[in-house]
Homo-oligomer: A and B are copies of this chain.
Amino acid sequence: MIERVDVRYIKTPKQAGLENPVMIEGLPGIGHVGKLVADHLVKVLEVEKVVELYSHHFPPQVMVDEKGIVKLPKNEIYAYRAEGQSPDLLILVGDYQSISNEGHFELANAYIKIAKDFEVSRIYTLGGYGVGKLIEEPYVIGAVNDETLFEELKRHGVKFENGEPAGGIIGAAGLIIGLAMLEGIPSACLMGTTSGYMVDPKSAKAVLDVLIKLLNLEISVEDLEERAKEMERLISQIKEMQEAQMVQFKGDEDLRYFR
């Protein structure tokens, strides 16, 4: 049986032994930008799962893996004990956000409770910022819950653009830093600009680059870079096709004068 919001500690904060970790959230969202970054971190860092979270607010179904084994919708939190100059990390990943409005608040409450249990020093939520057109050079815009973060973020390339995103930040990435503000945890949302039309590893790469600098991480970015390059090729092809059509269209236009 699972409760409405069912948090299961695999390691207690004490067992996990992290020292005021930085929490990273990367759940599905616009262009899956946040998810791509957080999943990459879990893959390349030596992490340990510390929390599993089930909820009635996820879709009422199971997924089936390639072997035929079912998987209940769940989110997971991984702990990374830093060795170098970087802080310890607590990385929140998963395949779902809440499918109800109220559920978003209940889940965000749970994430913040976990953040407090682990005495996190800061939270970065990751996401995409959909601009409605293909982006050749994605960059990262930010939103913070504490003025003191502006300088550091700007120094590492995060842009702040006059109230953007104008529609607000919807779901976990927004609510987590909103609730963190009430708890006094300085936090920021880092959003890679993206078309919003497709999964965007190139935008994710831009966010990862900023995050690496912010956290002094020494990690491989190869995997994401590879996918970003593939995407670049794909976009070039789309553009070429669009231009070809444009020429064709202009040709047709010109011909009209002769009809």
Contacts and interface: CB of A to CB of B under 8 A. Distances in A.
* Chain A interface size, under 10 / 10 to 19 / 20 to 34 / 35 or more: 35 or more
Contact of A70 (B2, B101, B181): B181
Interface in A66-91: 66-72
Q: Is the interface of A mostly helix, strand, loop or mixed?
A: mixed
A65 B1 contact: no
A63 interface: yes
Interface string A50-64: 000010110111111
A228 to B, nearest CB: 26
B62 A142 contact: no
Contact of A71 (B71, B164, B178): B178
Contacts of A112: 1
A226 B104 CA distance: 41
Contact of A68 (B60, B70, B150): B150
Contacts of A165: 64
A98 B102 CA distance: 11
Interface stretch (A168-176, A234-242, A243-251): A168-176
Contacts of A229: none
Nearest to A153: B68
B175 A61 contact: yes
Contact of A163 (B65, B144, B170): B65
Nearest to A63: B168
A116 to B, nearest CB: 9
Interface in A106-134: 106, 108-109, 112-113
Q: Which of A1, A60, A177, A183 has the most CB of B within 10 A?
A: A60
Interface string A1-18: 110100000000000000
A64 B171 contact: no
The 8 A-B residue pairs whose C-beta atoms are closest, nearest first, are A60-B104, A68-B160, A72-B178, A56-B105, A62-B174, A62-B178, A61-B170, A1-B109
Interface of A: 1-2, 4, 54, 56-57, 59-72, 98-102, 104-106, 108-109, 112-113, 142-147, 150, 160-166, 168-171, 174-175, 177-179, 181-183, 189
